[in-house]
Amino acid sequence: MSIVVGNDAEHKLLALLRIALNCSAEAANDKQIFSLSAEDWRNILDLAAAHTVTGLIYAAVKKLPSDLCPPDNISLKLMMEAERIERYSRKVESFTEKLVSELKGASLAPVFMKGHEVAKYYPEPYLRVCGDIDVYFQPSEFQMAVSFFKEKGYAPQRRPDRSFFSNSGPGIDIHPYYFDLHVRLEKLPPVPSTEAVLLMLSSHILKHAMGPGVGLRQICDMVVCLKAFTGNSAESNCTYDSVQLEEYFQAAHVATWNKVLLAFISRYFGLDTAMFSGSVNAGQPLPKKIRKLLSSFERIVFSGGNFGFYNISRKKTATSKFSGKRKIDTFYRFLRNTPFSLRCSPREFFSYTFSLLKGNLD
Amino acid sequence: MIAKQYRLFEDCSLRELKGKFLVMVYPKDGQKPFALEVNASFAFLFQTAQRLEVFDVDALANAVVNEYKIDLNRAKEEVEHTLEMWLQYGLIK
């Protein structure tokens, strides 16, 4: 497997993630890879924090032999962070169970999306860092669902993209659309389905890559789902129709993008993506277009971290007194990534840009 | 120390990594959570106490005798010493 990332910490971070997700061709006791100094470990953990994958690093370290583990003071900090992550994950799980019970009591049928849906496919689900709860309702139920959240005191606020957000608990993102795509629904897979999950995750990563940025956590989500849905994982026996899935990606105009994503996953997580829809066959050289897009995508992932927050310009927006600074930073990132976005999916780029502009002006 | 029955403080957890043990305590009285690095025998007692809804010196001492094959009197001394420490740290009440 060739690695083209920039620095040693990135190499080692990826090696540890491969171990955590059971993708690894390397042995956990490979001293050439895992003989690391204290400073190496600090750099890796800083990078893991930027990509919000620290819990996975803890999972990987558990598999290393004792002589390759981090020094004691670093191990203890890692344990404390893993404890914090797991504890929060369990808290979110309890909150979600209560929410589901309330929603079902109101005859509503929530469909959970993104991290909350895919966490169960991880070898250790509670070590996946939780963000907001993303929940989708069918069009026929959406307004009822929003009313439900209002009546129950969740105080959902409307957002430019027509979703609603509530600050309750870990944060609840209430979506009227399952897919981050501007395509007629009848061309897309039924929800819920394994094809829908894969298309949803892929398009979600694309949207963030087009704009603020995206990190390894979302890519790990895609990795665990691909493993689970091809029967390569003990966590699931789901399967999907690869021919039908490729048709869905084509219909959604994101087939080129998906090839880029699968090339990234093949290169850095070692999955044989030849079996997946639309991917370039393993062992064959990448087409020039995909190679160039892959290089751009690598820059986006490794320079930005989790949703681009690792990037210095993004960090500054968090402390700025000017509330529009974040929007300006997001706009700048859209501009910067335009060549990449246009080549991945011009239709989605224009549609997405238009809908965001419209939403902000409404 | 007067032998009496104890309960673990409401919210504690034990985590182990390659022979390192960490107890995390989450006080519900508004104090900040804290962590204690502990040794293997402390961890064994802690795990035993967690399994017992209410525990005392005798219950824990018997567990120590079975695990470490030492005599009961010595086990009781070790347990009493540990419980004193737990009281000081606020792990038990």
Residue A268 lies inside a defined structural domain of this protein? yes
Residue A127 lies inside a defined structural domain of this protein? no
Residue in chain A lying closest to B17 (CA) = A62
Position A246: which residue type? E
- Residue A282: pLDDT above 60? no
- Residue A55: pLDDT above 70? yes
Burial label, A288 (beta-carbon count in 10 A; 0-12, 13-18, 19+): exposed
Residue A139 lies inside a defined structural domain of this protein? no
**Any A CB within 8 A of B24 CB:** yes
Q: What are phi and psi of A165, to 5 degrees?
A: -130, 135
CA distance A279 to B82: 60
Q: State the pLDDT at residue A275.
A: 63
Q: What is the pLDDT of residues A99-125, one digit of tens each?
A: 999 999 999 999 999 988 899 999 999
Farthest-apart Cα atoms in chain B, separation: 41
Residue A122 lies inside a defined structural domain of this protein? no
Residue A136 lies inside a defined structural domain of this protein? no
Which of A46-55, A62-71, A321-330, B31-40 has the least mean pLDDT?
A321-330
Residue A216 lies inside a defined structural domain of this protein? yes
Q: Which residues of B touch A78 (CB under 8 A)?
A: 17
Determine which of B11, B16, B18, B37 to mutate to test the interface with A (most A C-beta atoms within 10 Å).
B18
A303, A320 Cβ separation under 8 angstroms: no
Q: State the pLDDT at residue A1.
A: 38
- pLDDT band for position B28 (cuts 50, 70, 90): confident
Q: Do B20 and A76 touch (CB under 8 A)?
A: yes
* Segment A20-26 mean pLDDT: 82
Residue ranges making up the domain that contains A216: 182-362
Q: Closest to A76 (Cβ–Cβ): which among B13, B19, B22?
A: B22
CA distance A201 to A219: 9
- pLDDT band for position A237 (cuts 50, 70, 90): low
What angle in degrees, to the nearest 10, is found between the helix axes of A325-336 and A312-319? 160
CA distance A115 to A98: 18
Q: How far is A124 from chain B (nearest CA, A)?
A: 15
A297, A260 Cβ separation under 8 angstroms: yes
Q: What percent of chain A has pLDDT over 90?
A: 61
Place of tokens 């027509």: A162
* Segment A41-58 mean pLDDT: 94
Q: Do A83 and B37 touch (CB under 8 A)?
A: no
Q: What is the pLDDT of residues A143-167, one digit of tens each?
A: 999 999 999 999 999 987 789 999 9
Give the list of residues 6+ apart from residue A74 with CB closer than 8 angstroms, or none: A38, A41, A42, A45
Q: Do B17 and A61 touch (CB under 8 A)?
A: yes
Residue A292 lies inside a defined structural domain of this protein? yes
Residue in chain B lying closest to A67 (CA) = B18
CA distance A257 to A274: 16
Q: Which residues of B touch A75 (CB under 8 A)?
A: 17-18, 20
A46-to-A42, A43, A91, A136, A243 alpha-carbon distances in Å: 6, 5, 25, 33, 41
What number of CA atoms fall less than 13 Å from residue A267's CA on the CB side? 21
**Any A CB within 8 A of B15 CB:** yes
Residue A83 lies inside a defined structural domain of this protein? no
Q: Closest to A72 (Cβ–Cβ): which among B15, B20, B24?
A: B20
- pLDDT band for position A126 (cuts 50, 70, 90): very high
Q: State the pLDDT at residue B31.
A: 80
Q: What is the pLDDT of residues B50-92, one digit of tens each?
A: 888 778 899 899 999 998 899 999 999 989 988 888 888 878 8
Q: Do B19 and A66 touch (CB under 8 A)?
A: yes
Q: Do A80 and B19 touch (CB under 8 A)?
A: no
CA distance A328 to A350: 18
A60, A22 Cβ separation under 8 angstroms: no
Which of A78-82, A231-235, A322-326 has the least mean pLDDT?
A231-235
Is the predicted ipTM greater than 0.90, yes or no? Answer: no
Number of structural domains (chain A) is 1
DSSP string, A295-312: HHHHHHHHHH-GGGTTSH
- Residue A241: pLDDT above 90? no
Q: Do B13 and A83 touch (CB under 8 A)?
A: yes
- Residue A224: pLDDT above 60? yes
Place of tokens 């981050």: A180
A344, A295 Cβ separation under 8 angstroms: no
